Structure 1
Amino acid sequence: MRSIKFMSQYLVRPRTVGAILPSSKYLSNKMLKQINFKDSNCIIEYGSGTGAFTNEILRRRKKKTTIILFEYNRSFYEILKTSFKDEPNLFIINDSVEKIEYYLKDLNIDTVDYIVSGLPFASLPIEMSNCILNKTTQILDSNGVFITFQYTKLKIPYIQSFFTHIDVEKEYRNVPPAYILSCKNSNF
């Protein structure tokens, strides 16, 4: 059901839905292996889609960890609200990530430990991408990690211009295969 909904939204809104199918469990596992769930107080997910990463984040997190999901697509937002309605410390926001500081202030959150992103930077307008990545670097804790994926290497130099260090891995068991970028701005 979620795959069909995902596919239909891709056909209607290909610029904001970056793939024809939800992310695979293999991509999800590789993305989330960077997260220290034991010590995380706040994790944000950009572009939650139908919840491929969300399911795993919620399964692995401490119950007191605040999870914030941003999903701009109204149909996906409704799926997330229904699927995760009983989860404690979970906030699902139907708005652009560009407004993130407003929501963090409203939730009284100063810094974020991890941000997991499913945003299709290759198809977003450059002004929007600049705004999102600038705000991401501002809200991440000094040891925080921004974890995203892209289907090509084209945007890696662009994303690297916002971070001092990026580790890149590839996951072939996804449709399409994806590059995982773990981005940091700390000296280690």
Structure 2
Amino acid sequence: MEKLMFLTKFLRSPRDIGSITPSSRFLAKAMVKPVDWNSAKHVAELGAGTGVFTKYIDRLRSPECKVVIFEQDRGMRQRLERLYPELHYHHDACQITSAMKQYGINQFDYILSGLPFTNFSQELRDEIMNEVEKALKPGGMFVAFQFSLQMRKQLSERFERVSLDFVPMNVLPAFVYRCEKAR
């Protein structure tokens, strides 16, 4: 059912969804691996889709960890709200800092992203990345996956350290960027 919903959304709006199928469990595990779940107090997920990463985030987080899920698609967001009612939800990744205020968060320790940046205009990429930079605490980490290395230069210009993992067991194989903000 999840895959059918994802495919339907992709066919209606491929630029917004970015993939024909949800991410694999291998990619999901690679995305949540960099997070220190014992110390994380504030985590955001951008572009949650059907909740492949959300499931792991909810399972691994401590009870004190406040999580905000950003998903533009109303149907997908409502589904996630039903599945994970203890998390917080917002519709627009361009409004990370205003959502933080709404939920009483000063800064995020980690921001995980499944957004298809390759499909976005440079203006939209910059708008989202400006929000990410403002929202992350010093020493915080932005973790994002992409199907290409197109974002490498832009991320290297914004973050103190950028490292990559390659996840071949996914349709399509993906790169996981781990981007650390300067302290």
- TM-score normalised according to structure 1 size: 0.94
Does the CA contact (< 8 Å) of 2:95 and 2:131 recur in 1?
Answer: no
| Aligned twin of 1:181 | 177
Gaps of 5+ in 1: none
CA distance in 2, matches of 1:29, 1:52: 10
Runs of 4+ in 1 over 4 A off after TM superposition: none
Measured after TM superposition, the shift of residue 3 of structure 1 is 0.6
CA distance in 2, matches of 1:112, 1:27: 22
2:80 maps to 1:92: no
Q: How does 1:39-188 map to 2 (within 5 A)?
A: 39-85=39-85, 87=86, 90-93=87-90, 95-186=91-182
Alignment deviations for residues 112-165 of structure 1 (CA, whole Å, 9 cap, x no partner): 100000000000121111011111111111111000011011221122221121
CA distance in 2, matches of 1:114, 1:19: 24
Q: Which structure has more helix as a fraction of its residues?
A: 2
Measured after TM superposition, the shift of residue 81 of structure 1 is 1.6
Q: What SS class does the counterpart of residue 158 from structure 2 fall into? A: coil
Gaps of 5+ in 2: none
Q: CA RMSD in A?
A: 1.1
- TM-score normalised according to structure 2 size: 0.96
2:28 maps to 1:28: yes
Alignment deviations for residues 75-126 of structure 1 (CA, whole Å, 9 cap, x no partner): 21122122112x3xx1012x21111111111111111100000000000121
Q: What SS class does the counterpart of residue 94 from structure 2 fall into? A: helix
CA distance in 2, matches of 1:81, 1:166: 32
* Identity value in percent: 30
Does the CA contact (< 8 Å) of 2:96 and 2:135 recur in 1?
Answer: no
Does the CA contact (< 8 Å) of 1:104 and 1:110 recur in 2?
Answer: yes
Does the CA contact (< 8 Å) of 1:134 and 1:162 recur in 2?
Answer: no
CA distance in 1, matches of 2:19, 2:46: 15
